[in-house]
Structure 1
Amino acid sequence: MIEFLFDYTTLRMIWWILLGVLLIGFAVTDGFDMGVGTLLPFVAKTDIERRVAINTVGPVWEGNQVWFILGGGAIFAAWPALYALSFSGLYLAMFLVLFALILRPVGFKYRSKRDSRRWRNNWDWALFIGGAVPALIFGVAVGNVLQGVPFHFTDDLRPIYEGNLFGLLNPLAIFCGLVSLAMLVMHGAAWLAFKADGVVGERAAAIGPKAALLAAILFALGGVFIFLGWFGGYEVTGPIVWDGPSNPLRKIAAANAGAWLHNFQNMPLLWLVPLCGVLLPLVAAAGFRARKAGLTFFASQLSIVCIIATVGLAMFPVILPSSTNPSHSLTVFDASSSRATLRNMLFATVIFLPLILLYTAWVYRVLWGKVSEKDVHDADHAY
C-alpha cells in the first residue's frame, strides 16, 4: 500500500487532485470576500451599512487568501512548467489581478482612518474593484485555458509564449469571466444574507436570486458552447506513459472539438458534476427567496465546487493546452516535478493542511453570528 501511494503515477494524480482542492478552497472562501466587495455599492447605501458589509468579511479575508498562496505555491513546486507558462505568459493578466487584490487590504485598513465621506467613498470603490476585477479575470483565464494558450517549447524545453493581453480578452474568455463574476456575486450575496443583519442582508437576499439564476444560465450555456465545439478541445492521441519523465515533447496530441466531452462520455457518472453545477445555483436562488440563509450559503459553496470541478474533469489529463502546437500541451503525466519532490511535498501537506483546516474552522466558529449596525458602532476594533 505504501509503495503504491508513493508510485510516481499515483503521486501525480494526488497532486492533480490537491491542486483542484486548493483552487476550489480559494474560490469558496475568498470568493465570498470578492463577492461582498463587488456588491458593496449596491447593498449598502450609508456609511454604517457599508461598515456592516465590510465587517462581515473583515476578520476572515486575510486568512481566506491563504488558499490563493497555497495554490500558487503548489503550482510552483508540483507543476513548475505550468507555473512558468501561466505566471509569466499571462503576466499582464496576473498583474491586473494582483493590482486589484492589493487594493483590498489598503481599502480595509485605510477606509476608516478619516471621517470624510469622499475619502470613504473612494476606498469603497477600491474595494469594489478589488472584488470585481479578480472575479472577472480568473474566469477569463479559465476561458483561455479551455481554448488553448499560444505557447510552444524549444528543443531544450524553453517555453515560448506568443500571446498578448488583448488576445486574452476574446469573446469566449470574457463569457467565462462573466460566469465567474455571476458565481462569486451569488456567493457574496449568500454570505451577506447569512452574516449581515438588517437592511444589508435583505438587499443581498434580493440580489442573490438574480445572480444565482444568471450563474446557472451562463454555466449551462457554456456547456452548450463546448458541445458545439466553440471552446475547442485537446486530447492526447498517442500512448500515455503515466510514470515517464516529465517532458511535454515526448507525446502526440491534437486539437479535437469534442475532446472536452470525452471523459464524461467514457464515464457517464461524471455528468452529475456539471448537472449539479447548474442545479445548485437554482437551489441557492430558492434559498434566497425562502430566507433560508444557511441552506443558501451551503448550496452556493457546492455550486462553486461543481463548476470548477467540471473544468478539471473535462480537461483531464491536460492541464494547459497549447493552441500553436497541441503536442506541446502540458499534462498531468509530463509536467510535474520529480517523484521525490512530490513525495516530500505530500508529507508536508499531510501534516499542515489538516492544521490549516482546523484553525480555519475554529476561527469561523469563534466569529459565528450576524453582524449588526450596533455591533459595528460599539466595537472599537471594527473597520
Structure 2
Amino acid sequence: MSTIPLDYESLRLIWWLLLGVLLIGFAIMGGRDLGVGTLLPFAARTDEERRLLLNLIGPTWEGNQVWLVLGGGAIFAAFPPLYAVSFSGFYLAMIVILLALILRPVGFKFRGKIEDARWRAIWDWGLFVGGFVPALIMGVAVGNVLLGAPFHFDDSMRIFYTGNFFQLLMPFALLAGLVSLGMIATHGATLIVGRTVGVMAERARTYGIWAGVATMALFALGGVWVAFMNGYVVTSAIDPNGPINPLGKTVDLVQGGWLSNYGTYPWMIAAPVIGFAGMALAVLGLMGRYRWLAYLGSSAGIFGIVATAGVSTFPFFLPSSTMPNAGLTLWDASSSHMTLFVMLLATLVFLPIVLIYTAWVFRVMRGTVSGENLTKNPNAY
C-alpha cells in the first residue's frame, strides 16, 4: 500500500498547474524583457534613450530567465515523454530561440565596448532579434500544440518525429505567434511607460496601444478559427490513477473539439475573459497614462491568454497529428507517483524562495530610470 499522502491523480493535476504557473511566470516576467527588446529600435531613437532601455531590463533579465529554466526542468522531471518528444521534434525551433536569447547578454556586454554608432546599431538590432524571435516562435509552438505534432510510437514505444522546422510555420501557428508577439510588445511598452519619462515613454505608449488592440483582435480571430478547426478529444475511458501508457486510449478529431472543455468545465471561460479584459485595461491604462493600471492589465492579459491555451487543450500536452491515439496527455505522460511527490516537496521549499527573492529584487530596482542614473552609475550599460 502506498504511503504517499496524495493520490496519483491529485499529484498529476498539481504538476499540471505548477507547469502552468512556471510558463505564465516566464511569459510575464521574461516577457517584460522580450517586449522591451522588441521595441528597442522603435521606442528609443538616440544612443542615450537606448541605453536607458538596456539599463531598465539589464539588472533583472537573468533572474526573470529562471522561470524559463524552471519550466524546462519541470517538463524534464515531471513529464519525461513530453520532454522527449517536444525537445527532439522542435529541436531546430528551440535552437533558433536559444541563439536569439544568447544575443541579449552578448549585446548588453559588447554594445558599449566601442563608441561607434554603427557598432552600437548592430548590437541594438541584435537585442531586437533577442526579443522579437523568441516571442514569435514561442507563440508558433503553442499554435502547433493546437494543430498537433507529427510524431508516433512504434511497438517498442520508441518515438519518431516526422516533421521539420518549416512545417511548424502553418497559418494558424503563425497567427498564434502574432498573438504572442503582440501581448509581449504590449507588456514591454507598459514597462517603458511606467519607468521612463519624456518622448521615449510617449513613443512606447503609442506602440503599446496599437499592440494591445492588435493582440485583442488576433486573439479573437484565433478563437473563431479554433471553433471551426479540428480538435483532439479523448473518447475512451480515462483512469487518472493509472500507469503511463500513451497508446492506451482512443482519440478522435472533432470540429471545434478544443472548445469542449468549456462545456464540461464552465469555470474555464474565465481564462479568455481575463485575457481580453487584461489587454483592454492595458490599452485604457496607456491611453489614460495610468501606469500601474497598464502594467497590471498587460500582466493579467498575458495570464489569461496563456491560460486559455492550457485549459483549452486539457488534458493534452501535445497531440499527435499522424497517430492521434499517441498524443501525450496529463494522464499518460507523467513521471511516477513517488517522483511527483518528492518533486512537490522540493518545490514547496524552493519556489517560495524564488518568489521572495524576485520580489525583493524588484523592490530594490523600482523607480524611474533616467539619464542621471547613467552618469551616476559606473556599472551602467
- Per the normalisation by structure 1, the TM-score is 0.97
Alignment partner, residue 348 of structure 1: 346
Distance 1:189 1:204 in 2: 5
Does 1:81 pair with 2:74? no
Does the Cα contact within 8 Å between 1:87 and 1:94 map onto a contact in 2? yes
Whether the 8 Å contact between 1:216 and 1:279 is mirrored in structure 2 is no
Q: How does 1:10-21 map onto structure 2 within 5 Å?
A: 10-21=10-21
Aligned match of 1:242 in 240, 243, 263?
240
Measured in 2, the distance between the counterparts of 1:24 and 1:275 equals 16
What is aligned with 1:301? 299
Letter aligned with residue 183 of structure 1? M
Contact 1:150 1:324 in 2 (8 A): yes
| Aligned: 1:326 with 2:324 | yes
Question: In structure 2, do the counterparts of structure 1 residues 10 and 4 end up closer, same or farther at CA, with 3 Å as the change threshold?
Answer: farther
Q: SS where residue 269 of structure 1 aligns?
A: helix
Q: Work out whether residues 89 and 163 of structure 2, in 8 Å CA contact, stay in contact via their aligned partners in 1.
A: yes
Partners of 1:329 and 1:176 in 2: CA distance: 21
| Residues 25-58 of structure 1, C-alpha deviations (whole Å, 9 max, x = no match) | 0000000100100000001111000001111101
After superposing on structure 2, the runs of 4+ consecutive aligned residues of structure 1 that deviate more than 4 Å are: 2-5
> Which segment drifts farther, 264-273 or 344-353?
264-273
**Secondary structure of residue in 2 paired with 1:324:** coil
Q: Structure 2 matches for 1:215-234, cutoff 5 A? A: 215-229=215-229, 232-234=230-232
1:283/1:296 contact within 8 Å kept: yes
Residue in structure 2 matched with residue 382 of structure 1 by the alignment = 380
State the 1:272 CA deviation. 2.3
CA separation of 1:161 and 1:291: change in aligned 2, threshold 3 A: same
* RMSD of aligned Cα (Å): 1.2
Corresponding residue of 1:203: 203
Query: What's the % identity of the aligned pairs?
Result: 53
How much does 1:4 deviate? 8.0
**Which one-letter code corresponds to 1:245 in the other structure?**
P
| CA deviation string 1:68-90 (max 9, x = no partner) | 00000000000001001111111
For 2:41 and 2:178, the matched residues in 1 are separated by 19
CA contact (8 A) 2:274 2:303 kept: no
Structure 1 gaps of 5+ residues are none
- 2:69 corresponding residue in structure 1: 69
Distance 1:239 1:3 in 2: 27
* Cα deviation digits, residues 159-217 of structure 1 (max 9, x gap): 11010011111111111111100110000001111112322222111211100000011
Residues 22-41 of structure 1: pairs in structure 2 closer than 5 A: 22-41=22-41
Tell me, yes or no, if the aligned pair for 1:97 and 1:137 is still in contact at 8 Å. Answer: yes
Q: Following superposition of structure 1 onto structure 2, how do residues 79-118 of structure 1 map, counting pairs within 5 Å?
A: 79-118=79-118
Residue 354 of structure 1: CA displacement?
0.1
268-277 vs 97-106, greater mean Cα deviation? 268-277
SS in 2 for 1:341: helix
**What is the DSSP-based 3-state SS (H/G/I as helix, E as strand, rest coil) of the residue aligned with 2:255?**
coil
Task: Look up the equivalent residue of 2:13 and give its one-letter code.
Answer: M
Partner of 1:310: 308
Q: Residues 4 and 10 of structure 1: is their aligned pair in 2 closer, same or farther, counting only changes over 3 Å?
A: farther
Match of 1:280 in 2: 278
Structure 2 distance, partners of 1:254, 1:248, is 15
Q: Aligned-pair distance for 1:319?
A: 0.9
Residue in 2 that maps onto 1:177: 177
C-alpha deviation, 1:158, in angstroms = 0.8
Structure 1 Cα separation of the partners of residues 276 and 136 of structure 2 = 19
Paired with 2:239 and 2:76, the residues of 1 have a C-alpha distance of 23
Mapped partners of 1:72, 1:40: distance in 2:
28
Q: Distance in 2 between matches of 1:327 and 1:284?
A: 41
1:253 maps onto 2:254 in alignment: no
Deviation at 1:301, TM superposition (A): 0.3
- 1:42 equivalent in structure 2: 42
Shift of 1:100: 0.2
Q: Residue 252 of structure 2: SS of its match in structure 1? A: strand
Structure 1 residue 63 displacement after superposition: 0.4
* Contact 1:249 1:327 (C-alpha < 8 Å) held by counterparts: yes
